[in-house]
């Protein structure tokens, strides 16, 4: 496995950890320490790839053209390190975003990237269910805001879309998976208490969703 691929996989792992954090929370000290160590390791690798500056060279002929320095390995290391750093900075800045925030599209783009890069249907299904959980938490955060109407409706719709897609993939990959029942129970605990705070139209959306996942959580 190449270095670039290993770094990309570590970045995806970090994004997954950030998405699991509660909205409004903060990364744990152990996560920040590990991330800092990996970024510093990448910087050291880039520095080590730099050719020595004080290496002696024989005098070139008077009319000979100077050969360009071989910077490709160094630039490659720096580009990979820069990409990883940029992704981490963006992740820290966006994981708390909710619908309506300027950074929210970046959060959704990171989620979509995780789903697309999943290795199989089971993993993709789980990540889509993670997205549905995030939408439920976002709805809870939006309640009571002055412009929550369209945003709540859209977020509830996206929650149901991710849920149905994730359940469909998991059922194909792992029939009768206990992960489905656990997801349904967890979602009921988040969505159920919202009903009394939702408008009539939004209540209908949420109740239809609860009716759907109740069937998933039923014994059988």
**60-113 pLDDT, tens digit each:** 555 556 565 555 555 555 555 556 555 665 555 567 788 888 999 999 999 999
Please, is 77 exposed, middle or buried when counting C-beta atoms within 10 Å of its C-beta (0-12, 13-18, 19+)? buried
pTM of the model: 0.61
Average pLDDT over every residue of 188-209: 94
Cβ–Cβ under 8 Å, residues 125 and 170: yes
Phi, then psi, of 124 in degrees rounded to 5:
-65, -40
User: Tokens 């160590």 map to which residue?
Assistant: 37
pLDDT-derived band of residue 215, with 50, 70 and 90 as boundaries?
A: confident
Sorting pLDDT into bands at 50, 70 and 90, what band is 177? confident
């Amino acid at each position: 496995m190449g270095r670039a691929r290993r770094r990309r996989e570590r970045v995806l792992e970090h994004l997954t950890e950030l998405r699991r954090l509660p909205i409004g929370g903060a990364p744990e000290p152990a996560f920040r320490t590990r991330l800092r160590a990996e970024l510093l390791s990448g910087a050291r690798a880039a520095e080590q790839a730099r050719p020595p500056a004080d290496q002696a060279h024989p005098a070139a002929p008077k009319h000979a053209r100077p050969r360009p320095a071989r910077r490709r390995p160094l630039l490659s290391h720096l580009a990979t390190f820069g990409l990883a750093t940029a992704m981490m900075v963006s992740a820290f800045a966006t994981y708390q975003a909710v619908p309506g925030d300027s950074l929210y599209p970046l959060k959704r783009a990171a989620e979509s990237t995780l789903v697309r890069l999943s290795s199989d249907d089971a993993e993709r299904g789980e990540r889509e269910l993670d997205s549905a959980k995030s939408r439920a938490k976002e709805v809870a955060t939006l309640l009571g805001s002055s412009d929550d109407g369209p945003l709540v409706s859209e977020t509830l719709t996206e929650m149901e879309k991710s849920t149905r897609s994730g359940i469909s993939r998991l059922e194909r990959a792992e029939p009768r998976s206990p992960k489905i029942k656990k997801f349904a129970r967890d979602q009921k605990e988040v969505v159920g208490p919202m009903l009394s705070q939702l408008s009539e139209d939004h209540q209908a959306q949420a109740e239809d969703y609860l009716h759907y996942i109740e069937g998933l959580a039923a014994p059988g």
